[in-house]
A = this chain, B = another copy of it.
């Protein structure tokens, strides 16, 4: 027997605390949730996925990479070999920090963007989303402020909300985050006695804005953050997907204190969920502990498959192949936007990555319009989902990564029709069109929306 069962503690008969227990018992046991669950709401983008994935809908909403070019035959042989030869390791628990050989290879991948790193400072995670979630866990107490570009990645906003952090957006222009506005935001927060914990930034081929932080701004952004004691989190899933083949110096290459997040989801295969964080040693020790608490260890199997892929395949050529497909799709999207969209729409021209950020004419509400767009068999991600503060009603994100060029063109044609109809209503009635039904409240995602 494991433990001698000790005598029960003294009777509490004299203590009248029955009221508390009675009140608690009245609530259903499953409903006594933590305060942080109030911030856990379905993003409008995710809520849309069920609808947008119907085959008749051209989805320009999702961010699924295009895997058509993957060499499945040789990968099949590789993974079979992995199980047959190294199955006893690949199918067994591994270390919380990740497979050592893969961490070395990750350093080689990061070297392409100027990063010199020690594999000891790399922590492999279940996609970079997990790294982001755990970095937030390590840094953010409830009420802490995080700076992020406006708009920003919806998954990051979700993690910040889950830890009850408050997001303050800093605007971008066509060259990315604007240093003067970053400085203004920090000065303004300092005046309120607030030092943000983090600047979360996607410097290359931004999601959703499509822009890249100008090289000459990078050191300045780092200096500003350092002077205010703000840690910089650089999220870089798209950095190797530039259409010119050009890469940019990572923020981490300029400053070893940067927390860098990387991923194989866009350069190899998203379904393996292999990402990583490169962090300063003081962060690493905590990140490994947090990772252990979160999943014990990342899957050995997927890590070893990525490691074998990197060792045995010409992964640089594969990225080039991917990138060419994305450029073709981007071109199709830009051509279609130019040809079909009504006057008053503006958009950026991305040099890499997956996204175009579109601004529609004043008076059109992209979230309100979305149900009509899906009815017209085209889906996009409305802009408000990329802001923590309600901005983005005139914006939407178009993803060109997944559909074929022909489908992209058809999708834009449909979107243009929906926009024309919105503008018609506005011209007729002089007010923005409003739908009878909302586009699905954040608390109630449903496949039947709309």
Contact = CB atoms under 8 A, between A and B. Distances in A.
A180 B40 CA distance: 37
A126 B130 CA distance: 11
Contacts of A26: 229
A133 B193 CA distance: 33
Q: Taking each of A4, A161, A186, A296, which has the highest tally of chain B beta carbons within 10 Å of its own beta carbon?
A: A296
A181 interface: yes
A209 interface: yes
B301 A271 contact: yes
Contacts of A34: 137-141, 144, 163
A15 interface: yes
Nearest to A80: B80
A227 interface: yes
Contact of A295 (B32, B126, B297): B126
A92 interface: yes
A296 B180 contact: no
A84 B76 CA distance: 5
A191 interface: yes
A369 interface: no
Contacts of A286: 33, 37, 40
A338 interface: no
A315 interface: no
A351 to B, nearest CB: 13
Contacts of A80: 76-77, 79-80
A3 B150 contact: yes
Interface in A76-97: 76-77, 79-84, 87-94, 96
B162 A293 contact: yes
A280 interface: yes
Given A6-B171, A192-B17, A87 B70 contact: yes
A353 interface: no
Oligomer: number of copies: 2
Interface residues of A, number: 140
Contacts of A226: 25, 29
Contacts of A298: 126, 273
A283 B28 CA distance: 11
Contact of A302 (B188, B209, B257, B299): B299
A107 interface: no
Interface stretch (A151-159, A238-246, A324-332, A403-411): A151-159
A215 B297 CA distance: 33
B46 A75 contact: no
A181 to B, nearest CB: 6
20 contacts: A1-B5, A1-B346, A2-B8, A3-B171, A3-B172, A3-B209, A5-B172, A8-B184, A20-B190, A20-B193, A21-B186, A27-B229, A30-B282, A67-B91, A68-B88, A127-B295, A130-B294, A130-B295, A137-B162, A273-B299
